[in-house]
Structure 1
Amino acid sequence: MSEQQKSALIVGASRGLGLGLVETFAGRGWRVTATQRSPSPGLARLASDSVRVETVDIDDDSAVATLRDRLGGETFDLIFVVAGVATQAHEPLHAVPRAVAAQVYLTNAVSPIRLAEAFRESVRPGGTLALMSSVLGSVALNESGGWETYRASKAALNTYARSFEIRHRDAGLGVLLMHPGWVRTDMGGAEADIDVATSVAGMADVIEGRLGRSGVAYLDYRGETLAW
């Protein structure tokens, strides 16, 4: 491995956007550590000298700590938390069982930040911590309603991420909240605007262009700033 080779930890990479990001960054010469919650045939196919596969459930603090310990002192130019859920997303809040709404919030908002805290010192100076958000997390742009528990979880993630960046501002890392676009995945559905390849290539371009920049930004896969 050359000293110039970039490295990434992509959390939640068993399929869809996470898997696409692993393939894209590996194809651009990065060394990638990719996580799955359960065995992923897609990741197994990509496993190589440049793609390492690990298993972790981001809702399990002890599993996250074990992964951190297993990776030892390894550092990354990019840590990207992609993992998230959209359980009963099309139902209004009052129709969603409390336990389901709470789990969506924990997985989409709380767990990514807790993982970020656990791995904060694993981000290299000038590196980026990216979190998969959504335009649906924008309070200002919510003019259509719907996806209530999912929207709220991503709005909370955005808020937590801003506080995380303020809390660790002296570390000089960049915090990036990414909207991948409306993508044809299991979550996005067959009628979505773009395919996975378009989304992940755009996000990779944005991330590579922002390496070395500190502060927090809320951007889409084209690099356009979204309203909070």
Structure 2
Amino acid sequence: MSSTTTSPRRALVIGASRGLGLVLADELVRRDWQVTATVRADGDELRAMARRSGGRLTVESLEMTSAEDLASLRKHLAGTRLDLLFVNAAIDRGNLPIDQVPTEMFTEVMVTNAFSPMRALEALRELVAPGGTVAVMSSDQGSISRNTEGGYELYKASKAALNQLMRSYTTRHADDAHTKLLIDPGHNRTRLGGFDAPLAPEESIPSVVDVLEAQAGAPGLQFLDLNGEVVPW
């Protein structure tokens, strides 16, 4: 009698030192994915998780805003075939009206929240197998049609810019056979979301992974929430 073995699904999670990215890496490991996750200077909790994972989680250092770091990671992972590339990155510098935002702050937030995630996708997309998924953590704060309440103008603008850039990415790479997703994980209790938010990452991220797994192989770009519902642009 012959038997066959199935290779584990492979994921690369960019930005997993804490918060949503950390829980995402953990949830994928729980579902028997083989996961590589990146951290910046910190990452003790992720590294401890890797030691407990039985080899299913490995950790790489990456400063996502550095083109040199991205190129180095791409070279290091050459030959790896990913089923999922997930980019998670966001900062918030407070609730200032846009006319009060210093130029340096505007640049920092836009580079971190919009430009760098897209540059990461471009640098690493060739590692994703045909039929695999490229996904970016977005927010309903980036929905223009839902922007009916004041506040957090720079953060909202950065996520709207991210969504628009992902549209352009999809147009340029329409024939690459990758599923493309923008994910709104809901309002979570993290350093970014605040500790009075209604959701815990341990509640929302399993639903996010359900969406990622359910959408695998779907064509085009979708902007979806943690329940798989369409978020309006």
TM bucket normalised to smaller:
over 0.9
- Residue 144 of structure 1 deviates from its aligned partner by 0.2
203, 208, 211: which one aligns with 2:208: 203
d(CA) in 2 for partners of 1:193, 1:223:
18
Is the CA contact (8 Å cut-off) linking 2:188 and 2:199 kept in structure 1? yes
- Residue 39 of structure 1 deviates from its aligned partner by 2.7
Equivalences for residues 23-62 of structure 1 within 5 A = 23-47=26-50, 48=53, 49-62=55-68
* TM superposition score normalised by structure 1: 0.97
What per-residue deviation string (whole Å, max 9, x for no partner) do you get for residues 1-43 of structure 1? Answer: x533111000000000000001000000000000001131111
Is the CA contact (8 Å cut-off) linking 2:114 and 2:161 kept in structure 1? yes
* TM superposition score normalised by structure 2: 0.95
Aligned to 2:75: 69
The residue type paired with residue 188 of structure 1 is G
Is the CA contact (8 Å cut-off) linking 1:36 and 1:55 kept in structure 2? yes
Aligned to 1:94: 99
Q: How many residues align?
A: 226
d(CA) in 1 for partners of 2:79, 2:96:
43
Equivalences for residues 164-203 of structure 1 within 5 A = 164-203=169-208
RMSD: 1.0
Is the CA contact (8 Å cut-off) linking 2:78 and 2:127 kept in structure 1? no
Structure 2 gap ranges (5+) = none
Aligned to 1:16: 19
What per-residue deviation string (whole Å, max 9, x for no partner) do you get for residues 186-206 of structure 1? Answer: 111121111111111010000
The residue type paired with residue 75 of structure 1 is R
The residue type paired with residue 24 of structure 1 is E
What per-residue deviation string (whole Å, max 9, x for no partner) do you get for residues 34-93 of structure 1? Answer: 0001131111111141101001111100110001101112121110000221122x1111
Give every structure 1 segment of 4 or more consecutive aligned residues whose post-TM-superposition deviation is greater than 4 Å: none
Q: Mean Cα displacement is larger for which, 184-193 or 7-16?
A: 184-193
Q: Mean Cα displacement is larger for which, 60-69 or 2-11?
A: 2-11
Q: Mean Cα displacement is larger for which, 152-161 or 90-99?
A: 90-99
d(CA) in 2 for partners of 1:87, 1:57:
19
Aligned to 1:129: 134
d(CA) in 1 for partners of 2:167, 2:177:
14
- Residue 145 of structure 1 deviates from its aligned partner by 2.2
Is the CA contact (8 Å cut-off) linking 1:109 and 1:157 kept in structure 2? yes
Q: Secondary structure at the match of 1:10?
A: strand
d(CA) in 2 for partners of 1:223, 1:26:
21
Structure of higher CA gyration radius: 2
Equivalences for residues 130-169 of structure 1 within 5 A = 130-169=135-174
Is the CA contact (8 Å cut-off) linking 1:9 and 1:78 kept in structure 2? yes
- Residue 110 of structure 1 deviates from its aligned partner by 0.7
d(CA) in 1 for partners of 2:141, 2:230:
14
d(CA) in 2 for partners of 1:147, 1:8:
32
Q: Aligned residues: percent identity?
A: 42
The residue type paired with residue 80 of structure 1 is F
